Amino acid sequence: MFPGGVHSPVRAFKSVDGPPIFIKKGKGCHITDVDNNEYIDFCCSWGPLILGHNHKAIRTTLNKNLKNGTSFGTPTALGNEIGKLLLKNHRYLDMVRFVSSGTEAVMSAIRLARGYTGKNKIIKFEGCYHGHVDSLLVKAGSGLATFGVSTSAGIPESFAKETIVLPLNDLAACEKVLKKNKDVAAIIIEPIPANNGLLLQNKSYLKGLRKLCDKYGALLIFDEVISGFRAGFEGASGHYNIKPDLITFGKIIGGGLPVGAFGGKEKIMKKVAPLGDVYQAGTLSANPLAISAGIATLKELLKKGFYSKLEDKTQYFVNLISKHIKTKKYKVRIQTIGSIFWFSFSNKRAITADDINPEKMSLFRKMHAELLNQGVYLGPSGYEVGFVSAAHDKKTLKKAAKLINAAFDKVMHK
């Protein structure tokens, strides 16, 4: 009926054992499958559900706004409300445009960067994911600083060639390319790379990219589709105190409904149609229902102490596991920031894509199956990070940590 039975590839459980589970409902930090098995959820719909499942504030606003209809294709007061909320509370946003997914946000930001600079090439990094945008489904060719090779069929070689793929954490490689190639419109990076493990970068590296962009006349795009509103309200930009030229959003910004956005400096955003000549449009963009869910979410995030509470809980949870790992001397590390965590099957800090050993993913595969059995749901791939939501209480986190530790004992003892 559907290709691979799914509508997004990783849902098919190809990287873990067993058939995919079908979820019928979620509440707080739990999800329930169609066979009535309950799981403590650390996937949280891949990140959007920072408030947990079926949050009351979101349900209430959706019910209320639904009474007025679902879509008008005109500006709405809700659109203005979320705009004000964003601009007032995010130092690095002068203007913003709403779209319907993270991919769409990235695709539009790339077009804008090209339109604004009049240049064509994009630099991206191995180990960062930016949605299924043609020119970004690209990996490094052989040798450093070569033009990209597409990772998907259906992408013309000429598109892939517009992308230059570099390793993370290597400023010198980046400068070398910028020096040689005057046609770079933008550097795009997940400032907190969280789609291929959690490859936390050094602040000095990110600051270095900012400087290189200024020096060589390229724009710096922070893809904050995951990190936005996750690593604090201002995301990674605020966390590292770096002002990108453009920022892309998705996931949390829609509170579990399809919303994306891109925004940044006014002089750049003014190039977007109808104010400027970079075309961008969407029939359902800033859909009032989806936006109302976004507003309800952002308002919760802005409550005093929201992030400190969430991050304290995450630390509590992570510490319970890392203590166990240390005691048992397992070759595992938990890499974590804010309310994101990731199990790395190595003792060394993973900072580039090459630091991840694909052979170790068989350990995750076993962990995942064991935990599923025990009622803990992790994203179905060892490259996926876990999310703690505001709905995860300490008691449940303690229970989950115990089950995870027991799963490590089962998997690592051999």
Ligand X SMILES: *Cc1c(COP(=O)(O)O)cnc(C)c1O
| Active-site residue list | 129, 223, 251
Q: Kindly state whether residue 344 participates in binding ligand X, applying the rule CB under 6 A.
A: no
Q: Kindly state whether residue 226 participates in binding ligand X, applying the rule CB under 6 A.
A: yes
Q: How far is the CB of 131 from ligand X (least distance, A)?
A: 3
Other C-beta atoms lying within 10 Å of the C-beta of residue 165: 24
In contact, 181 and 139? CB cutoff 8 Å: no
Part in contact with ligand X (CB under 6 A); list of ranges 101-109, 178-186, 267-275, 393-401: 101-109
Written as one string, the DSSP assignment of 150-164 is ESSTT--HHHHTTEE
Which of 204, 303, 249 lies closest to 93, judged by CA?
249
Binding-site size for ligand X (CB under 6 A) equals 15
Write out the two tokens for 55: 């949050």
336: left (phi over 0), alpha (psi -120 to 50) or beta: beta
Among 130, 161, 239, 365, binds ligand X (CB under 6 A): 130
Alpha-carbon distance 211 to 189, whole Å? 14
Which of 192, 218, 195, 186 lies closest to 205, judged by CA?
192
Q: Kindly state whether residue 124 participates in binding ligand X, applying the rule CB under 6 A.
A: no
Q: Kindly state whether residue 163 participates in binding ligand X, applying the rule CB under 6 A.
A: no
Q: Kindly state whether residue 99 participates in binding ligand X, applying the rule CB under 6 A.
A: no
Decide whether 115 or 256 has the Cβ nearer to ligand X: 256
Q: Kindly state whether residue 122 participates in binding ligand X, applying the rule CB under 6 A.
A: no
Q: Kindly state whether residue 223 participates in binding ligand X, applying the rule CB under 6 A.
A: yes
Q: How far is the CB of 191 from ligand X (least distance, A)?
A: 10
User: What is the x/- site pattern for ligand X, positions 4-23, by CB under 6 A?
Assistant: --------------------
Alpha-carbon distance 139 to 56, whole Å? 42
What is residue 196's DSSP assignment? S
Which of 162, 167, 103, 169 lies closest to 130, judged by CA?
103
Q: Kindly state whether residue 106 participates in binding ligand X, applying the rule CB under 6 A.
A: yes
Decide whether 161 or 251 has the Cβ nearer to ligand X: 251
Among 52, 83, 102, 244, binds ligand X (CB under 6 A): 102
59: left (phi over 0), alpha (psi -120 to 50) or beta: alpha
Q: Kindly state whether residue 195 participates in binding ligand X, applying the rule CB under 6 A.
A: yes
Q: How far is the CB of 38 from ligand X (least distance, A)?
A: 26
Q: Kindly state whether residue 230 participates in binding ligand X, applying the rule CB under 6 A.
A: no
Q: Kindly state whether residue 191 participates in binding ligand X, applying the rule CB under 6 A.
A: no
In contact, 104 and 316? CB cutoff 8 Å: no
Alpha-carbon distance 279 to 241, whole Å? 31
Which residue is at the shortest CB distance from ligand X?
102
Q: Kindly state whether residue 190 participates in binding ligand X, applying the rule CB under 6 A.
A: yes
Decide whether 50 or 404 has the Cβ nearer to ligand X: 50
Positions that interact with ligand X (CB under 6 A) = 101-103, 106, 129-131, 190, 195, 223, 225-226, 250-251, 260
